[in-house]
Amino acid sequence: MVDDTIRLNAIDEYGLCVVAHDQLTTEGWQRTWSCHYAGDRTALGPTIRAVIDLAILDLGASNLVPH
């Protein structure tokens, strides 16, 4: 489990770029979050916390260090 302090620190330490994309669907507006990191990697998910958590887990599994 990643807490909000770790998430906020990771944005700066790893240079995470987090954006939201809203799309109008037949069911109404749908928001998808995207986190770009480590040059060419991207995590997609339904919440900002989910995409940051995915990025942190991937960075840890790949043994990438903060810059």
- What tens digit of pLDDT does each residue of 22-64 get? 999 999 999 999 999 988 999 999 999 999 999 999 998 988 7
Higher pLDDT, 65 or 59: 59
- At 23 the pLDDT is 97
- At 65 the pLDDT is 67
Q: Which amino acid is at 21?
A: H
- At 67 the pLDDT is 62
Three-state SS at 46: coil
C-alpha 20/C-alpha 6 separation (Å) is: 20
Please determine, for residue 2, whether its predicted confidence score (pLDDT) is greater than 80: no
C-alpha 17/C-alpha 20 separation (Å) is: 10
Three-state SS at 51: helix
